[in-house]
Homo-oligomer: A and B are copies of this chain.
Amino acid sequence: METQSVRITVDAVVFGYENGHISVLLIKRKYEPFKDKWAIPGGFVLNNESLEEAVERELQEETGIKINYLEQLYTFGEPTRDPRGRVVSIAYFGLVRPNAFKIYASTDAADVQWFNIDELPELSFDHKEILEIAIQRLQGKITYEPIGFELLDKKFPFSDLERLYSTLLSRDIDRRNFRKKIINLNVLDELDEKVSKGSGRPANLFQFNQKRYFQHKTEGIIFEI
């Protein structure tokens, strides 16, 4: 067998949601290859850390962000995907709340920025493909797992949730039916707080009840939009 000389990286596609559009977190690369090009944050896995630890470390180092939800996305291993040699990358998929939008370019990146997923720059390596797969996963997953809440503030008005789903699924949503459906899932707590958006009637705040969700899940009752 030929001797292996493979290196492992992790990459993280991190999505955020703010004023009606989905954004993805990208860094401007500080070093070659693809110096000064935009890329998905990530980097080499150290010897004694798990893949998840590596993702969280790299995100911290490059962007200073605190991730809210993380799952493995897909592993990319084409022999020629990195000009430096064989690099297998395990891509992750992350979601953050809006207050994570305060980001800073840290030591390992020349710049960090949120990009609307409809206005993406040219990307390094095979990162365009990775991002496309991540977007597909996001759109697919919100319909059968309650991960949408991870993109909103802990307490949110119903209209935020509705707009989020409408944006993600890129179609109109009937407000009454959507509300009925979500309420019937019985995973939201209605709070005794209201919030006003400047004009119009103030909205009641809701909170996702994860414990109740897992309870339903073990009972075989599934989340579905």
Asked if residues A90 and B72 are in contact (CB atoms below 8 Å), the reply is no
| A31 adjacent to chain B (CB < 8 Å) | no
Digitize A69-100: 1 where CB-to-B-CB distance is under 8 Å, 0 elsewhere.
00010110111000000101010000000000
Asked if residues A48 and B8 are in contact (CB atoms below 8 Å), the reply is no
Asked if residues A79 and B2 are in contact (CB atoms below 8 Å), the reply is no
Say which residue of B7, B50, B74, B79 sits within 8 Å of A6 (CB atoms).
B7
| A178 adjacent to chain B (CB < 8 Å) | no
| A51 adjacent to chain B (CB < 8 Å) | yes
Asked if residues A4 and B74 are in contact (CB atoms below 8 Å), the reply is no
Give chain B residues whose Cβ lies under 8 Å from the Cβ of A5: 47
Say which residue of B7, B49, B78 sits within 8 Å of A79 (CB atoms).
B49
A77 to B47, CA, bound (A): 11
| A45 adjacent to chain B (CB < 8 Å) | yes
Asked if residues A88 and B88 are in contact (CB atoms below 8 Å), the reply is yes
A6-B6, A6-B8, A72-B74 are contacts. A79–B47 as well, Cβ < 8 Å? yes
Asked if residues B44 and A1 are in contact (CB atoms below 8 Å), the reply is yes
| A46 adjacent to chain B (CB < 8 Å) | yes
A45 to B88, CA, bound (A): 11
Digitize A30-53: 1 where CB-to-B-CB distance is under 8 Å, 0 elsewhere.
000000000000001111111100
Asked if residues B78 and A47 are in contact (CB atoms below 8 Å), the reply is no
Give chain B residues whose Cβ lies under 8 Å from the Cβ of A79: 47-50
Say which residue of B4, B51, B86 sits within 8 Å of A77 (CB atoms).
B51
Which of A46, A77, A79, A86 is the most central at the interface, judged by chain B CB atoms within 10 Å of its CB? Answer: A77
Contacts A/B (CB < 8 Å), 29 sampled: A1-B44, A1-B46, A2-B46, A2-B47, A2-B48, A4-B7, A4-B8, A4-B44, A4-B46, A4-B47, A5-B47, A6-B6, A6-B7, A6-B8, A6-B45, A8-B77, A8-B88, A45-B77, A45-B88, A48-B79, A50-B77, A50-B79, A51-B75, A51-B77, A72-B74, A72-B75, A75-B90, A88-B88, A88-B90
* In the A-B complex, the 10 residue pairs with the closest CB atoms: A51-B77, A75-B75, A6-B8, A2-B47, A75-B90, A48-B79, A2-B46, A4-B7, A8-B88, A50-B78
